[in-house]
Amino acid sequence: MGKGKLIVIDGLDGSGKQTQTKLLLEALSHTGQPVRQISFPTYGKSSALIELYLSGAFGGRAGDVNPYAASTFFTVDRVASYLGDWRADYEAGTLIVADRYTTSNAIHQAAKLSTEQKRAFFAWLDDFEYEKVKLPRPDAVFFLDLPPALGQELMARRYSGDERKKDVHERDLAYLEQCYETAQLAARELGWQRIECSGKGEIKSVQEIHLELVRRVKEICDIL
């Protein structure tokens, strides 16, 4: 058996990535195909710099840390995870479903840059993560498209209204708006598939989003 496939589910904070990843994995588990989930950040030893960054130890705003520097924090975590955890499964033919991946750097770090700088950053990120450090390139990326204002509603429920629980990304709505615009650009230029998670100003049901995601996955993986 050859290498497996790598499917990535990404989106802004509060877009339902964890829920949709879990539901997709459950759907895939009934196909007989070996499947497994990975999630980033891992919040293990290799995430130490990420935790410092998100807690505000390097500055109270996301923009206080250079996007190239911040990206390396997340890349190191992914490399450690790949080499120490899921590489063998991937190379043995397992279908990997990732809750966030290299794509999160394209969303959250490129958001700190101008439009032209974003494009240069995308090119740098592609070369750095896939060519230089040799992380597997995704077979498909699904972006859960939920406007930040609606995502904030979901986060408010998650944290029971306690703003202190939010990290430096989550508490800055203006920054999240920039992330959203950046994600739209990345989706167009990097070939991501957008999954609309809202309509008429309201969040779609979890099941409706799941069914659309399954339909899209069927188009690239003839196993569902």
Q: What is the pLDDT of residue 66?
A: 96
Count the Cβ atoms, other than its own, within 10 Å of residue 8. Answer: 24
Q: What is the pLDDT of residue 220?
A: 81
Distance CA 69, CA 77 (A): 13
Residue of 39, 42, 45 lying closest to 19 (CA atoms)? 39
Distance CA 141, CA 77 (A): 19
pLDDT by position in tens, the chain (length 224): 578 999 999 999 889 999 999 999 999 998 888 999 999 999 999 999 999 999 999 999 999 999 999 999 999 999 999 999 999 999 999 999 999 999 999 999 999 999 999 999 999 999 999 999 999 999 999 999 999 988 777 666 665 555 555 567 766 788 999 999 999 999 999 999 999 999 988 999 999 999 999 999 998 876 65
Half-sphere exposure of 27 (CA within 13 A, CB side): 20
Q: What is the pLDDT of residue 11?
A: 96
**Residues composing the chain:** 224
Q: Kindly list the distances between the CA atom of residue 206 and the CA atoms of 23, 178, 213, in Å, as whole numbers in the listed order.
A: 9, 25, 11
Please give the structure tokens belonging to residue 65. Answer: 């840390």
Residue of 21, 23, 27, 26 lying closest to 7 (CA atoms)? 21
3-state secondary structure of 31: coil
Pick the CATH number of 6-220 from 3.40.50.300, 3.20.20.370, 3.30.300.30, 3.10.110.10: 3.40.50.300
Q: What is the pLDDT of residue 58?
A: 96
Cβ within 8 Å of residue 111, ≥6 positions away: 62, 175, 178, 179, 181, 182
Q: What is the pLDDT of residue 159?
A: 56
Q: What is the pLDDT of residue 162?
A: 52
Q: What is the pLDDT of residue 151?
A: 78
- What does the domain layout of the chain look like in residue ranges? 6-220
Count the Cβ atoms, other than its own, within 10 Å of residue 160. Answer: 7
Q: What is the pLDDT of residue 104?
A: 98
